Amino acid sequence: MEFKLISMASLIAFYGCYFVKMFQQKRQGIQTDQIGKDKVGFVKFVEVTMKVAAILVFTADLICILTWRGQGLTAVRVTGAGLSVAGTIVFIAAVWTMRDSWRAGVSRTDKTELVTGGIYQISRNPAFLGFDLLYTGILLMFFNWSLFSLTVFAVIMYHLQIVKVEEDFLSATFGDEYLQYKKKVRRYIGRKG
C-alpha cells in the first residue's frame, strides 16, 4: 500500500506543479504549452509524438498503480519509490528555477532568457530528467511489460525532443552563450571538466 501512496503523491505533486505553473502563466498572458504549435516537419512530429507518449505513460502509470495486485522485489520497489520522489523534486526545482521562461515545447515567438542557475548548473535538462526519473520509478514499483514499453517510448521521445528540437533551438536563439553553457554542464546530470 505504501508504494501506491508514494507513487500517487509523486504524480500529484509532479503534475500539480506542471498545471499550477501553466495556469499562473496563462493569467500573465503566457502560453506555456507550445508543443507542436507553429511547427512543421520532423520538429512537429517529435513534439506531438512526445506529448502523446507522455499522455500514454501517465495513463498507464495510473492504471498500474490503481490495479496493482502483484508482488515485486522490495529492493526494486524501494528504488523505484526513491526515483519517483527524486524525479518530482528535480522537476519542481526545474520549473521553479525557470520562472516565466518555462515552456512545454519550444516557442519561436516568446522572448525568454537562457536559464543557467540553480538546478541548471548541474543539468541542462532537469525537467526532462524529472520525467524520466518519475516514470522509471513508477515502472520499478509496478512493473509490467506494457508499462515498460510505454516508459521506454516516452524516455526516447523526451531524448529526441532534447537533441533534435531544444538544443537546435537554444543554439539558434542564444548562440555562443548557449554553446559556452553546453561546454560546462552535461545534458542530464553533472558538470564537465
Which CATH number do you get for residue 110?
1.20.120.1630
pLDDT of 1 reads 63
**Is 149 part of a structural domain of the chain?**
yes
**Is 193 part of a structural domain of the chain?**
no
pLDDT of 59 reads 96
- pLDDT, one tens digit per residue, over 1-56 is 699 999 999 999 999 999 999 899 889 888 888 888 888 999 999 999 999 999 99
**Is 25 part of a structural domain of the chain?**
yes
**Is 189 part of a structural domain of the chain?**
no
pLDDT of 81 reads 96
Residue 102 structural domain: 2-184
CB 170 within 8 A of CB 163: no
Sort residue 61 into left (φ over 0), alpha (ψ -120 to 50) or beta.
alpha
pLDDT under 70: residue ranges of the chain: 1
pLDDT of 72 reads 81
**Is 7 part of a structural domain of the chain?**
yes
pLDDT of 71 reads 80
pLDDT of 155 reads 97
pLDDT of 15 reads 94
pLDDT of 161 reads 95
What DSSP line would sit under 121-166, residue for residue? GT-S-HHHHHHHHHHHHHHHHS--HHHHHHHHHHHHHHHHIIIIII
Number of structural domains the chain divides into: 1
pLDDT of 69 reads 83
